[in-house]
Structure formats: C-alpha cells, structure tokens
Amino acid sequence: MEPHLIEFDQTVDDVIAWSRYRAARLPDGRSKPRTRRWALIPFAAFILLGVGLGLFAMTREAFTTGEWGRATLTWIVVVSIVFLLLFRRRISEGSIRRFWRRPENARKLGRSRLEMSREGVNMQSQFAATTWKWDAFDRIQTTSDYVFFVLGSGTAIVIPCSAFLSEEDCREFVRTAKCYQANIERIPDEDPP
C-alpha cells in the first residue's frame, strides 16, 4: 500500500471519536489527570447529606404551610442537575448526531481522500478540497482506532484506522506523517499510544 495516500469514509462516529478524544485530553494532547473516584466519595456524601437535609426540611415545611412552589422547584433543579451529571456524555453525543443528521451537514461527511507529501496534506471530498502545510498541524496523535492530525484545540482531520489494510500500514502512515511534520528522513519505530 502507498503510505502517502489514503481514502476513507468520514462518519458521525469519527466526529464523536474526536469529541471524546478532546474531552479526555489537555490542549497540548496529554491525558487529563484522573481523580480517583473513591476520593470523591466523602465530598459527594457531604454534599448529598446537606442537600438531602435541606430538601427534607423544605418538603416538611411545605406539608405544614401548603406552599409547594419553592419545594417543587428545588426538587426539579436538583433532579435536573443529577440527570445532567449522569448523562452528560450521552446528551453531548446525541446533540452531535442530531447536528450531523441535518441534510446540509450530513452531505459534508462521506468519502474523503487524504494525500501527504513533504509540502503538506491535501484532503479532498465531494464538496471541498483543502491543503495544509505541515506547520499548520500542532501534532499527530493516535489511538487504537483513529489517527488525528490536530490543527488546533478544536479541529482535526480524523482518519479511522479501519481505512488501512493492516495495523502495520496505519503505523507506517503515522511514521511517515510525523517525519514529514518534523522534516526529517525517518523516525525510529514506535508503537502508537
């Protein structure tokens, strides 16, 4: 396979993969530091206890005075916040899917062709052709399923690894891209993170 040229189908799942990647990374590409979930238990318990006691007192007061407005509104706000916290990823992915389902946006997905050379990257689809010099890319990142040519903190060319015939072809493509970007002849063999 020619490592300088790749054709692939751009899908909504590719856009979501970039969104997930960005959510898990700092702007410079490093993984975000993870807080151990068990470390949040005392903090969460304290907050839940305080909110629970406050809601219990407010609900008990509503029973005696008959004023349900404030108690009901507070319950709605608390339940909404918990819902958003629990399902924020699914809500985000749903909004991305809805955006790309619109006909004016969906037509931008589909078959793409990416060609690399020492001068830069040329990407063509049925609606556009764009050329970037290597200086335009902040970095080239890989995951087990994708190659990201990162143009900035919010933009990247997303290439699914499934577009390559083998994992070795994907690794060779990435090595070639990193050589071109660094303007060197060869990068030592390395496994993608």
* Tens digits of pLDDT across the chain (193 residues): 344 888 888 877 887 777 777 776 666 667 767 666 666 677 777 777 777 777 777 777 766 776 666 667 676 777 777 777 667 777 777 777 787 777 777 777 778 888 888 888 888 888 788 889 988 888 888 888 898 888 876 788 888 988 888 888 888 888 888 888 887 555 555 555 4
- Among 72, 101, 130, identify where a domain stops: 101
pLDDT at residue 3, as a whole number? 46
Q: Please check whether residues 47 and 135 belong to one and the same domain.
A: no
> What's the whole-model pTM score?
0.63
The residue range of the domain holding 134 is: 5-29+107-182
| Number of domains composing the chain | 2
Helices (H), 41-107: 41-65, 69-101, 103-106
pLDDT at residue 184, as a whole number? 58
Question: Do residues 163 and 6 touch, judged by C-beta distance below 8 A?
Answer: yes
Q: Please check whether residues 42 and 68 belong to one and the same domain.
A: yes
pLDDT at residue 163, as a whole number? 87
Q: Which residues pair with 112 in a beta bridge?
A: 8, 125
- Pairwise CA distance, residues 192 & 155, whole Å: 20
- CATH classification of the domain holding 177: 2.30.29
pLDDT at residue 112, as a whole number? 87
- Pairwise CA distance, residues 97 & 108, whole Å: 13
Q: Please check whether residues 93 and 114 belong to one and the same domain.
A: no
Number of residues that make up the chain: 193
Q: Please check whether residues 117 and 135 belong to one and the same domain.
A: yes
Pick the closest to residue 159 from 137, 183, 187 (CA basis): 137
Q: Please check whether residues 128 and 162 belong to one and the same domain.
A: yes
Q: Token pair for residue 193?
A: 């993170």
